[in-house]
Structure 1
């Protein structure tokens, strides 16, 4: 055997072990991805009918604070004006899009809005399945899961889950805990003023108060009250109202 042939044989022998461990590694990666996707599919299907027991952010805050206030309440026990108020505040075209409000996103980008035009559906996906922050991996997963949620859950169900997991103040999660904390009321008993104030604090719940509102929160709540009445009149609340 010549020198060239011997060198070629030696190189091939060195590459063989590398190929040997790369193939199993790829298989395990593929299997791992499939397992994760399967678990997500199972959770999405389960949460279409079952209460969400806890979210990643709630777990994190519970560890940090030593506990949180949270109580799940079915959507039929949430005041209808609360449903309309939060939609008016966070996603006025909620009934008209399939998870992404492109017009609102363009407006947010043009105006430099901090919230980035996220819909209620996107926020629900982030809060239930993902982590907080603005990283690209999280945004990519959010973009992938949002259409799945829209196809699997009804608009009323998405709103029900959203209102039960969203943060209303430090350690206060869900509309029932928020109603009790700020007003001493059940979620079913909220009126237009209380619903508007609770919706007004959502973009920054740790620095805004619903029961001791600043002048800004009062102004914003007044806008939300008008918006809630408007979407009721023009039919933009039809997808989540009975």
Structure 2
């Protein structure tokens, strides 16, 4: 038993050291690849990505992400417990399951982990969320998120999405275009930003209307 505990302690130390180093490297280096991208390749899909810094990207994209995914992004420290509680109440009433994950949590999952995995992956996701909130500024969290989030089948990041859907780069995204990309984020393998219909169009229109609200209310203040 003592040997097992000692082995577990050493394994935990290695995990902590590697994860801190990994997050530290990604503070400065564009994320080159993710486990989700690897999953696409294993299924025979091509992967399209095109990193763009937040400085070059239209601010409409970050505002649309805040409007659609995480209105308290600039206020919380990785976890929005009010959103988690609201999601739990909605899910308890039945219907489509909704999450309460913040952009920070989604960044941790997308950059360092894989989709699915249940509670164990959620626990590791929480650890990486704490790390990126402690080691990265909010601008870097948003920058990584907008470059590694899946925005369509085999498409990753806002810039690749802008080329795919609108034939120009993400520096020229209008509020409507950014809203449509943000509307794809929750279900990127089932939604498309070009000529969207039904709930995707409605959700994109709502996000578009709130892009200006995010700017006027200063909900993106940590990115300026």
TM-score (norm 1): 0.86
Q: Deviations over 1:77-99 (max 9, x none)?
A: 21111110111000011111111
User: 1:126 maps to which residue?
Assistant: 109
Offset, 1:33: 2.4
User: 1:139 maps to which residue?
Assistant: 122
Matched, 1:108 2:87: yes
Whole-Å Cα distance in 2 between the matches of residues 239 and 135 of structure 1?
31
Aligned residues, how many?
A: 220
Larger Rg: 1
Q: Deviations over 1:38-79 (max 9, x none)?
A: 111111111111101111111111221243111211111211
* Match runs of 1:213-232 below 5 Å: 213-232=196-215
- Structure 2 unaligned regions, length at least 5: none
- Structure 1 unaligned regions, length at least 5: 1-18
Q: Deviations over 1:7-37 (max 9, x none)?
A: xxxxxxxxxxxx7xx62x5434332322222
Question: Of residues 6, 31, 40 in structure 2, which corresponds to 1:61?
Answer: 40
Q: Secondary structure at the match of 1:96?
A: coil
* Match runs of 1:69-108 below 5 Å: 69-108=48-87
Matched, 1:210 2:189: no
Q: Which segments of structure 1 move beyond 4 Å, counting only runs of 4 or more?
A: none
Q: Is the 8 A contact 2:179 2:205 kept in 1?
A: yes
User: 1:13 maps to which residue?
Assistant: none
Whole-Å Cα distance in 1 between the matches of residues 169 and 217 of structure 2?
28
User: 2:20 maps to which residue?
Assistant: 41
TM-score (norm 2): 0.93
Q: Is the 8 A contact 1:208 1:214 kept in 2?
A: no
Whole-Å Cα distance in 1 between the matches of residues 97 and 107 of structure 2?
18
Q: Secondary structure at the match of 1:75?
A: coil
Offset, 1:194: 0.6
User: 2:175 maps to which residue?
Assistant: 192
